[in-house]
Amino acid sequence: MNQQGKPDSDTRLVSDRFPRSAKYHPDWLIGSAMGSNTLWLTEWLTEVVDLKPGMRVLDLGCGRVVSSIFLAREFDVQVWATDLWISASENTQRINDAGLSDCVFPFHCDARALPFAREFFDAIVVIDSFSYYGTDDLYLNYLANFVKPGGQIGIAGAGLIDEFESPPEHLIEMWSEDFWCLHSAAWWKRHWGRTKIVDVEVADTMEDGWKRWVEWHETAHPDNKEEIEGVKADEGRCLGYIRAVGRRSDDATLQDYCWPDNMRSFPEAYTQFPLLREQS
């Protein structure tokens, strides 16, 4: 409905495939756009992530908190919205406007220096940013520290259908160095599975993902002609959207020396004492 209480005829980015996302105004989504359609990717990922009311969820690389707001509204979870590129102050304004200041908490920090306690989260969700840091062979060992045993880590974003050594001719115009961080669902399954840190439950590719890619960019980033034409020419042969979900194994062995920050330079030293005099 629009401000006059009449049906809204704006059908931009409305898709039967993503009914939850269709409720959100396209101007709000486009105004907070960064890369892919965050709502579609988040809805797709949450189809295979078990979210229950009251859960603590880390939204890692949350950008402009579109995914965080969606998670809180749709699943009644608490969300720690963490990003390096967008300030917590800016995201606080979006969160307040959405009326979610009591359940979405913005943080400005690096994915390799997270300020959270061990096993604090019930689940970790990453939308279209994991490729920038998660390809590090040791990163899963680090990230898994923050989710409870049995908790899920789920990622969704742009990726490859299959791995290749060099981009095909029809993609050369759009290809830049940052595209080399993209990988296939099968690559992520192997990358995670061999560690035994998580049991990989899902690793797949979105059906007609390339069409969603084009639709989003034609609507939100129409000036990005090279990418639009490249994905159109590709027709899903090489590019699409991938997702992967792993559940932290109960007996996972995590190595402190693999941490990328210095938080483990000093061993944890906590001794419990009575809080109040009458407890002693």
On the question of pLDDT at 157 being above 50, the answer is yes
Is 170 within a domain? yes
Is 15 within a domain? no
How sure is the predictor about 278, in pLDDT bands with cuts at 50, 70 and 90? confident
| Residue matched to tokens 């959207």 | 241
Is 190 within a domain? yes
pLDDT of residue 263: 58
pLDDT of residue 34: 85
Domain hosting residue 275, numbered range: 21-279
Environment class of 229 (CB within 10 Å of its CB; exposed 0-12, middle 13-18, buried 19+): middle
Is 5 within a domain? no
pTM, to two decimals: 0.91
On the question of pLDDT at 235 being above 80, the answer is yes
On the question of pLDDT at 262 being above 60, the answer is no
Bridge partners of 108?
83
pLDDT of residue 265: 55
The residue among 179, 178, 124 whose CA lies nearest residue 156 is: 124
Name which of 26-30, 263-267, 276-280 the model is least confident about. Answer: 263-267
On the question of pLDDT at 203 being above 80, the answer is yes
Q: What is the pLDDT of residues 21-46, one digit of tens each?
A: 999 999 999 999 888 999 999 999 99
Is 3 within a domain? no
Tally the domains of the chain. 1
Rounded mean pLDDT of 240-245? Answer: 98
pLDDT of residue 132: 95
On the question of pLDDT at 166 being above 60, the answer is yes
On the question of pLDDT at 135 being above 90, the answer is yes
Rounded mean pLDDT of 10-30? Answer: 94
Q: What is the pLDDT of residues 96-121, one digit of tens each?
A: 999 999 999 999 999 999 999 999 99
Is 53 within a domain? yes
Is 7 within a domain? no
The residue among 156, 184, 162, 151 whose CA lies nearest residue 252 is: 151
Q: What is the pLDDT of residues 75-89, one digit of tens each?
A: 999 999 999 999 999
Residue 46 CA from chain centroid, whole number: 10
CB-based contacts of 272-278 (< 8 A; 24+ apart in sequence): none
Name which of 30-39, 45-54, 120-129, 140-149 the model is least confident about. Answer: 30-39
On the question of pLDDT at 184 being above 80, the answer is yes
> Mean of the per-residue pLDDT values for the chain?
93
Is 244 within a domain? yes
CATH number at residue 124: 3.40.50.150
